[in-house]
Amino acid sequence: MIYYFSGTGNSKWIAEELARRTNDEVQSIASLVKDGPVSVFANCGATIGIVFPIYAWGAPLIVERFCKSITIGEGVYAYAVASCGDDAGYAMRRLKKRFAFQSAWSVAMPNNYILGFDTDGAELEEKKIRAARVKVEQIASSILAHEHVYDVHEVKGAFAKTAFIRPMFNAFARSTRSFVADENCNGCGLCERICPIGAIQMQNGKPVWVRSSCTQCLGCINRCPQRAIQYGEGTKKRDRYYFHIEQ
């Protein structure tokens, strides 16, 4: 089984591609834990994978918490794959304390963190996706062979990024206070339906963020069909990104 968490489709696509190439199945972590904590058991001889995006050089908290619920039996082949705009910091090394994988990879995918930056642009997006298709095929071959691989892009300063920036991100940058729906909102409710932690509720035909913090998956702002969701003033002129399979 391949468990994944995804806000704008990158990790979902990777998980589904790996499942297709390894004859496996996928399960959304957000859907699995929506009613509360769960317990997952990987029995002898099984293969189990975790696919997730990098947030501030770490795994999303929802992924780390889910991994703590996994019991891995003898003879299980476990692996982890992270999608990231560039480098993964020490995210995988931290995750291994919670999920005892034998292999790990990072895959560069288009940037979706429009709260801090604009999107990569069409040419760079296409370049990253072409390279990702090749890498995912290579990863699938390694999974089928149960190879032990550590192919994670860690640059200079990776430890500091995960050790110091990530905690500040989780403490201060996950606030929902600046999210707002502008006059372009047509009340379709997509943001409410896709929020992985139920932080959005439709009230009087408009989305309201009812939790003080969220995962910062940015599914709501990137997937809004009307581009009506903003985060303060900084996102109004920035493009949106969502992985579409036709890419």
pLDDT in tens, the chain (247 residues): 999 999 999 999 999 999 999 999 999 999 999 888 899 999 989 999 999 999 999 999 999 999 999 999 999 999 999 999 999 999 999 999 999 999 999 999 999 999 999 999 999 999 999 999 999 999 999 999 999 999 999 999 999 999 999 999 999 999 999 999 999 999 999 999 999 999 999 999 999 999 999 999 999 999 999 999 999 999 999 999 999 765 4
d(CA 96, CA 112): 25
d(CA 120, CA 125): 6
| Identical topology for domains 2-169 and 175-231 | no
H helices of 161-206, in order, are 166-172, 190-194
Name which CATH class applies to 2-169. Answer: alpha beta
d(CA 165, CA 95): 16
pLDDT of residue 245: 61
pLDDT of residue 89: 96
pLDDT of residue 161: 94
pLDDT of residue 247: 47
Give pTM, 2 decimals. Answer: 0.96
pLDDT of residue 151: 98
DSSP string, 4-30: E--SSSHHHHHHHHHHHHHT--EEEHH
**Domain boundaries of the chain, sorted by first residue:** 2-169, 175-231
Name which CATH class applies to 175-231. Answer: alpha beta
pLDDT of residue 35: 84
pLDDT of residue 65: 95
* Angle formed at CA 7 by CA 6 and CA 13, multiple of 5 degrees: 45
